[in-house]
Structure 1
Amino acid sequence: MNNFRECFEDDLDNAFFDLDDFADEHTIDGKKCVAVFTTTEIVNGKMSYGLMKATLNPKETAINKVQPLLFVRKSDLRAKVTPNSMITLDGVKYFVQQVTTTQGVCRLVLEIHAV
């Protein structure tokens, strides 16, 4: 009989990081890996989809802030990803706003400004 940790790791591999279910192949800093990438983030209990107005200049209407989420195994990332660092995901550079690691899975809140 498997213990909880083994069952949890099996669920990660067979469901969450399964290419047929949630995950896709991505290239992160030149390394191919399986990850879940989405432009949906939960902010204060409400869903926020993709483009959000930047608050840097209230009169500016051409700049939008995109905050996608990336879920990836910690072992698939470079040595250490920290807030305010940059990663390249599928050829696009993103700022890392927040990093949370739970049970070997990293949740990265990324940010890119689009014009």
Structure 2
Amino acid sequence: MSTFREQLEDDLNVFFDAEEFAEEHELNGTMCSCIVQSPTAREVFLQGQAYDSYEGISGRQIVVHVKKSELPEIPAEGMTFTLDGEVMLVSACVEDMGNISITLHQNLR
């Protein structure tokens, strides 16, 4: 019989399987199987906060879900971070039971 932690690891392997949900993306120079969300309603779904744009500048936010073991380091808030070569800033990073959810933002003109 599997322990809860072993079952959780099995579940994460399915969730981050490229044939199921995940896709390959470059995260800060490391190729990872991850899930990328682009909220279209300008909301940060994990935090429930609206994205505030600045006058004359539009922006976008992206949430990346990745297994903790895929990245060499956990990003810190305010850190510069690349997603598929695009430079973004880390708004938040939450680690929970082997999964990391990274909220990124980028200002666009």
TM-score range, shorter chain: 0.7 to 0.9
- 1:34-88 CA distances to partner (integer Å, 9 max, x unpaired)? 111110241538xx7xxx560x33xx2xx21211100112222232310000111
Match of 1:64 in 2: 58
**TM-score under structure 1 length normalisation:** 0.80
Q: Quick one: distance in 1 between partners of 2:20 and 2:91? A: 27
**TM-score under structure 2 length normalisation:** 0.84
Against the structure 1 CA distance between its residues 112 and 8, is the aligned structure 2 distance closer, same or farther, given a 3 Å change threshold? same
Q: Quick one: distance in 1 between partners of 2:36 and 2:20? A: 13
Segments of 5+ residues of structure 1 without an aligned counterpart are: none
Across the aligned residues of Structure 1 and Structure 2, the Cα RMSD in angstroms comes to 1.9
Match of 1:12 in 2: 12
Q: How many residues align?
A: 104
Q: Please say if 1:99 is aligned against 2:98.
A: no
Q: Quick one: distance in 2 between partners of 1:96 and 1:70? A: 11
Runs of 4+ in 1 over 3 A off after TM superposition: none
Q: Quick one: distance in 2 between partners of 1:96 and 1:24? A: 20
Segments of 5+ residues of structure 2 without an aligned counterpart are: none
Match of 1:2 in 2: 2
Q: Quick one: distance in 2 between partners of 1:81 and 1:38? A: 17
Bigger Cα Rg = 1
**Of 76, 80, 83, which aligns to 2:74?**
80
Distance apart, 1:21 and its partner CA: 2.2
The percentage of counterpart residues that share the same residue type is 29
Match of 1:25 in 2: 24
- Structure number with greater CO (CA < 8 Å, separation at least 6) is 2
